[in-house]
Structures are given as C-alpha cells and as structure tokens.
Chain A
Amino acid sequence: MKNLLRYGLTLMLICGIAAGVLAFTYERTQKIIALNKIREKENLLKEMLPKATKFVMLSNTPKANDSSVKIHEIYVGKNIESIVGTVWEVSTYGYSSEIFLLVALSTDKKIEKIKILSQQETPGLGTEITKRDFLDQFIGKNTPNLEVNKNIMPVSGATISSSAVVRAINEVLRHNGL
C-alpha cells in the first residue's frame, strides 16, 4: 500500500513535469508550424499560376465520375479582381499508391501546368510520372478525351501509373465548366 502511493506519486510528478515542458514547447512552435503550412500551400499555388496574386478556395467541389479519382480542393487564382485561372487538387489510385496532383487551368480552360504532389510508385519506373517529359504533354489540352497510347505517351514500364494520371486529368477537364 505504501509502495503503491509512492509509485503513483513519482510517476505523477515526472509526467507532470513532462507535460509542462511539452506544453511550453508546443506553445512556442505551433504558430510557426501553422504559418509554415499556409506559406507552403501558397508557394505551391503561386508556382502553378505565377500570374495570380491571390487565391480563393471554392467551397463546393464537384464529385468525380470516375470512382478512383477524388477532387479535393479547387482554388481560383485572381490578379486584383480579374480571374487568371484555377488550380485543382485531385488524387487518383496508381499502381501502388494514391497519387496527389495539382492541375492548373487557364481562363480559356486549357491545361497550364501539372505537378505531382505526392506518390509512392515503384522507384525508377512509376516515379518517372513526376518528370517534365511526361507531364508536359498535357499542356494545352482542353477536352476530356485523353487516353494512354492514343494521344498521351505513357512512361515506359509504368502504364498503370500513367493511366492513373490521365484519368485524373480527364476528370478535371470534364468538370472545368465552372
């Protein structure tokens, strides 16, 4: 009984000190962490639409027709008051992972830029979809009729990863009549 109390109080004391130290560190760092996240997102969006100075997130995102594709967020890029384009964050299932990508569309609904945000495809094969050589073929396209081997050259050895990206981009083009 005596021991029980001693153990409990010792643990409580040490946990209390630990909690205090952690609360202090958290207080000091969490503002910077939140700021980092916002800045990172803004930098990404700026990179996609360099002409825009301000980004507004749309509150309602359309549901994708293709079940393997998800439309997460849509940002409207504005320069003072005129709209200069939209940025879409979409995800799609590739060969071994969920691929997240950003697609920038100009005001005339053509693809301006594509960037792969995250993926865990096979190194050396599927990961090649993040390269310019593959992604630049989509620039200027505006109709959702893209197909691997027909009007898009897939990455050799990574047809599944390539078609996943194509599916996501078709989905964006299908919904772009905002």
Chain B
Amino acid sequence: MKEFFKYLINGIFKENPVLVLMIGLCSVLAVSTTVENAIGMGLAFSFVMIFSNLFVSSLRPIIPNNIRIPIFIVVIATFTTIVDLIISAYFPELYKALGIFIPLIVVNCIIIGRAEGFAYKHNVVESLADGVGISIGYIWAIVALGLIREFLGSGTVLDKVIIQSFNPAKVFSMPPGAFWGIALLMGILKWVQQKISRR
C-alpha cells in the first residue's frame, strides 16, 4: 500500500509529465485555451493513460519482448478510438473544440513512454497507481495553464466573467501565451521544489 501511494505521488509532482518530464506538450499547448477544453482533454487523456497502463501490465506475461511496441500501439489506439467515439456521440460541443487532438492521443509520448518505461516492468497495482498519478499530474498542469490563459486572454473562467473592469490581453489565447503560461508554471513548480528540498 505504501508503494501504491509512492507511485501515485510520483506522477503528480516529481515526475509530472507536463512540467517536469516535459513530454507530450503539443496537445497541452494547443488545447489549453479555455478551462473547459483543458478539463475535457485531461479526462480523455486520463482514460487512455489508465487503461493502457492497466492492460500493458496485465498482458505482460504474454507479450513477446521483440514485438512489444506494436502491441502497445494497438492497446493505446483501441482506447483512443473508444474515447473518440464516446466524446463525439455524447459531448459533440467538446468534440468540436478538441478536434484533431483526441485522435492524436495515440501518438502522445507520455502514454507510450509510461507503457514502455513503467507498465511493462511493474505489476498491475503499481501500474494503476502510476497511471492515476500521471493522469492527475497531467490534469492539474493543463487546467492550471487553461486557467491562466482563459483569465488573461478572455477575462473569464469557465465562461463566467470574474472581474468586470479587467481588460484581457488576447495574446494569451494565442500560441505565444501558451508558452509563457507553461514557462511560468514550470518556474513556480521548480521554485516550490527547491524551497522544500532546502529545508
């Protein structure tokens, strides 16, 4: 049980996929224009992440080492297609906003990285903990970025106006704003980690 929490926390801060490992940034930067999109993308990502970790680790005994990569891709692609179909059937608005980035979860390097680097070497429970941890890490990073960009770029949070007299800077909704926002978040996380480790 102690191990479970160790791997869970690991994904949230120490190996946060977006802010520390800095992989799979493409969809994070592109989709985080609003909090709503960020939450949608985060949940779609989590579904694929957790199930791919679960299945890769449970299929471990029957996967021959030489063809493990094609099998990972099949597993990940299956779950991505399921998410794609479900979102387009039940949340058409969200589907429109996320667009191409849902099918692109297939090639998201966080997921295949965790399948290869973690789930293939650990048991099912540990892989579940890692999948959930990485997902939480991804969600908080992308939602924080969405919060910064939506508030500074259009003056709203979840489509609600927060401060009446605030004049938004549109550049935060555009690509440069994504880089500034993510740099800011990386800086804050690093600063906090240094403060903690100095103690």
Q: Is the interface on chain B under 10, 10 to 19, 20 to 34, or 35 or more residues?
A: 20 to 34
Contact partner of A36 among B63, B81, B92, CB < 8 A?
Answer: B92
Quick check: which of A10-18, A54-62, A84-92, A160-168 contacts chain B, the rest being far away? A10-18
Q: Considering the complex, which residues of chain A in the window 1-60 have a beta carbon less than 8 Å from any beta carbon of chain B?
A: 3, 6-7, 10-11, 14-15, 18, 21-22, 25-26, 29-30, 32-33, 36, 40
Contact A14:B85 (CB < 8 A) given known A3-B64, A36-B92: no
- Minimum CB–CB distance for A154 against chain B, Å: 20
Whether A33 pairs with B75 at a CB distance below 8 angstroms is no
Interface string of B85-99 (1 = CB under 8 A from A): 110111010000000
25 A-B interface contacts by CB (under 8 A): A3-B64, A6-B64, A7-B64, A7-B66, A10-B64, A10-B67, A10-B71, A11-B67, A11-B71, A14-B71, A18-B75, A21-B78, A25-B81, A25-B82, A25-B85, A25-B86, A26-B85, A29-B89, A32-B89, A33-B89, A36-B88, A36-B89, A40-B92, A123-B174, A124-B170
Residue ranges of B at the interface with A (Cβ–Cβ < 8 Å): 59, 62-64, 66-67, 70-71, 74-75, 77-78, 81-82, 85-86, 88-90, 92, 170, 173-174
A18 and B106 CA atoms in complex are apart in Å by 14
Counting chain B CB atoms within 10 Å of each CB, the highest count among A3, A18, A30 belongs to A18
Kindly report which residue of chain B lies nearest to residue A40, judged by CB atoms: B92
Q: Name the A residues within 8 Å of B89 (CB-CB).
A: 29-30, 32-33, 36
Q: Is the interface on chain A under 10, 10 to 19, 20 to 34, or 35 or more residues?
A: 20 to 34
Contact A29:B88 (CB < 8 A) given known A6-B64, A14-B74, A18-B78: yes
A15 and B64 CA atoms in complex are apart in Å by 15
Residue ranges of A at the interface with B (Cβ–Cβ < 8 Å): 3, 6-7, 10-11, 14-15, 18, 21-22, 25-26, 29-30, 32-33, 36, 40, 123-124
Main secondary structure on chain B at its contact with chain A? helix
Q: Name the B residues within 8 Å of A26 (CB-CB).
A: 85
Whether B170 pairs with A123 at a CB distance below 8 angstroms is yes
Contact A22:B81 (CB < 8 A) given known A10-B71, A14-B74, A124-B170: yes
Q: Name the A residues within 8 Å of B64 (CB-CB).
A: 3, 6-7, 10
Kindly report which residue of chain B lies nearest to residue A21, judged by CB atoms: B78
Contact A32:B75 (CB < 8 A) given known A7-B66, A10-B62, A21-B82: no
